[in-house]
Chains A and B, each alone.
Chain A
Amino acid sequence: MSTTLPQRTRGHPLGAELGPVPMSLPRRVSVRVPVLVATALLLAAVLLGISIGPADVPILTVLGVFVSHLPLLHLHSGASRLDQAIIWQIRLPRVVLAGLVGAMLASGGASYQGVFRNPLADPYLLGVAAGAGLGATIVIVSGPHMTELLPLAAFIGAVGAVTVTYLVGANAGLRASGASIVLAGVAVAALLTAVQTYLQQEHSQDLQQVYAWILGSFNVATWSDVLLILPYVTLSAVVLLAHRRLLDVLRVGEDEAGSLGVHATRVRLTIVAAATLGTAAAVAVSGLIGFVGIIVAHTVRLTAGSSYRVVMPVSMIGGAAFLILADLVARTAQAPGEIPIGVVTAFVGAPFFLFVLCSKRAQQGVR
Chain B
Amino acid sequence: MATTKVPSLSPSAAPPVPTTGTSAGSAVVRLCGVTVRYGSTVALRETSEWADRGEWVGVIGPNGAGKTTLLRSVARLTSYQGHIEIDGVSTAGLSRRHLARLVAYVPQQPELPHDMPVADYVLLGRTPHIGYFGADSEADRRRCAELLARLGLEAMADRYLGTLSGGELQRAVLARAVAQDAPVLLLDEPTSALDLGRRVDALELVDELRREWGLTVLSAMHDLTLAAQFADRLILLADGEVAAVGRPSDVLDETLLGHHFGARVRVLRDEGELVVVPRRSRSTPPLGDRGGHDA
Binary interface profile of B, 91-123, with partner A (CB < 8 Å = 1, else 0)?
000011111110111010011110111011111
Which among A18, A26, A251, A365 is the interface contact of B145 at CB below 8 angstroms? A26
Interface positions, chain A 25-78, Cβ under 8 Å from B, are 25-29
CA distance A351 to B107 in the complex (A): 41
Which among B77, B123, B197 is the interface contact of A26 at CB below 8 angstroms? B123
Chain B neighbourhood of A26, CB < 8 A = 119-120, 122-123, 141, 144-145, 148, 157-158
Assess the A261–B96 pair: CB atoms within 8 A: yes
Question: Among the listed stretches A87-95, A155-163, A220-228, A242-250, which one makes contact with chain B, having 4 or more residues with CB under 8 Å of it?
Answer: A242-250
The answer to the question of B247 belonging to the interface, with a C-beta cut-off of 8 Å to chain A, is no
Chain A neighbourhood of B154, CB < 8 A = 22
Q: Which residue of A lies closest to B99 (CB)?
A: A261
CA distance A89 to B44 in the complex (A): 69
CA distance A13 to B200 in the complex (A): 12
Which among B77, B113, B133, B201 is the interface contact of A12 at CB below 8 angstroms? B201
Assess the B204–A9 pair: CB atoms within 8 A: yes
Interface residues on A, range: 35 or more
Question: Among the listed stretches B18-26, B58-66, B124-132, which one makes contact with chain A, having 4 or more residues with CB under 8 Å of it?
Answer: B124-132
Question: Among the listed stretches A126-134, A252-260, A333-341, which one makes contact with chain B, having 4 or more residues with CB under 8 Å of it?
Answer: A252-260
Interface residues on B, range: 35 or more
Q: State the Cβ distance, B249 to closest chain A Cβ, in Å.
A: 16
Interface of A: prevailing SS: loop
Q: Tell whether A260 pairs with B115 under 8 Å between CB atoms, given A8-B229, A366-B159.
A: no
Q: Which residue of A lies closest to B109 (CB)?
A: A253
Assess the A252–B160 pair: CB atoms within 8 A: no
Assess the B229–A27 pair: CB atoms within 8 A: no
Which among A22, A255, A259, A301 is the interface contact of B103 at CB below 8 angstroms? A259
Chain A neighbourhood of B133, CB < 8 A = 242-243, 245
The answer to the question of B294 belonging to the interface, with a C-beta cut-off of 8 Å to chain A, is no
Q: Tell whether A23 pairs with B128 under 8 Å between CB atoms, given A251-B113, A259-B77, A365-B160.
A: no
Which among B128, B138, B226, B273 is the interface contact of A261 at CB below 8 angstroms? B128
Q: Which residue of A lies closest to B223 (CB)?
A: A6
Chain A neighbourhood of B255, CB < 8 A = none
Chain B neighbourhood of A205, CB < 8 A = none
Q: Tell whether A306 pairs with B100 under 8 Å between CB atoms, given A3-B277, A29-B120.
A: no
Q: State the Cβ distance, B147 to closest chain A Cβ, in Å.
A: 10
Which of B38, B154, B199 has its CB near the most chain A CB atoms (within 10 A)?
B154
The answer to the question of B205 belonging to the interface, with a C-beta cut-off of 8 Å to chain A, is yes
Chain B neighbourhood of A258, CB < 8 A = 75-77, 96
Chain B neighbourhood of A253, CB < 8 A = 111
Which among A6, A8, A259 is the interface contact of B100 at CB below 8 angstroms? A259
The answer to the question of A144 belonging to the interface, with a C-beta cut-off of 8 Å to chain B, is no
Chain B neighbourhood of A5, CB < 8 A = 225, 270, 275
CA distance A117 to B51 in the complex (A): 36
Assess the A262–B127 pair: CB atoms within 8 A: yes
Interface positions, chain B 154-184, Cβ under 8 Å from A, are 154, 157-160, 162-163, 180
The answer to the question of A364 belonging to the interface, with a C-beta cut-off of 8 Å to chain B, is yes
CA distance A25 to B201 in the complex (A): 26
Chain A neighbourhood of B149, CB < 8 A = 18, 21-22
Chain A neighbourhood of B120, CB < 8 A = 26, 29, 248, 307
Assess the B135–A22 pair: CB atoms within 8 A: no
Q: Which residue of A lies closest to B177 (CB)?
A: A259
Assess the A27–B119 pair: CB atoms within 8 A: yes
Assess the A261–B100 pair: CB atoms within 8 A: yes
Q: Tell whether A251 pairs with B116 under 8 Å between CB atoms, given A8-B200, A9-B200, A242-B133.
A: yes
Assess the B111–A14 pair: CB atoms within 8 A: no
Binary interface profile of B, 72-89, with partner A (CB < 8 Å = 1, else 0)?
000111000000000000
Q: State the Cβ distance, B276 to closest chain A Cβ, in Å.
A: 10
Binary interface profile of B, 258-295, with partner A (CB < 8 Å = 1, else 0)?
00000000001010010101000000000000000000
The answer to the question of A24 belonging to the interface, with a C-beta cut-off of 8 Å to chain B, is yes
The answer to the question of A4 belonging to the interface, with a C-beta cut-off of 8 Å to chain B, is yes
The answer to the question of A174 belonging to the interface, with a C-beta cut-off of 8 Å to chain B, is yes
Chain A neighbourhood of B275, CB < 8 A = 1, 3, 5
The answer to the question of A203 belonging to the interface, with a C-beta cut-off of 8 Å to chain B, is no
The answer to the question of B11 belonging to the interface, with a C-beta cut-off of 8 Å to chain A, is no
Which among B128, B146, B163, B205 is the interface contact of A14 at CB below 8 angstroms? B205
Assess the A25–B130 pair: CB atoms within 8 A: no
Chain A neighbourhood of B229, CB < 8 A = 6, 8
CA distance A367 to B142 in the complex (A): 21
Chain B neighbourhood of A174, CB < 8 A = 38-39
Pick 27 A–B contacts, CB within 8 A, sort by A: A5-B275, A6-B229, A9-B204, A13-B201, A14-B150, A21-B146, A21-B149, A21-B150, A24-B145, A25-B145, A26-B120, A26-B144, A27-B119, A29-B120, A252-B112, A252-B113, A255-B77, A256-B107, A259-B75, A260-B128, A261-B96, A261-B97, A365-B159, A365-B160, A366-B158, A366-B160, A367-B160
A-B pairs with the 10 shortest C-beta distances? A261-B100, A26-B119, A253-B111, A261-B128, A261-B97, A259-B105, A260-B127, A25-B141, A252-B111, A306-B115
| Given A21-B149, A251-B113, 9 extra CB contacts under 8 A | A7-B200, A12-B208, A14-B150, A27-B119, A174-B39, A242-B133, A256-B105, A306-B116, A309-B135
Give B contacts to A, CB under 8 Å. 38-39, 75-77, 95-101, 103-105, 107, 110-113, 115-117, 119-125, 127-128, 130, 132-136, 138, 141-142, 144-146, 148-152, 154, 157-160, 162-163, 180, 196-197, 199-201, 204-205, 208, 225-226, 229, 268, 270, 273, 275, 277
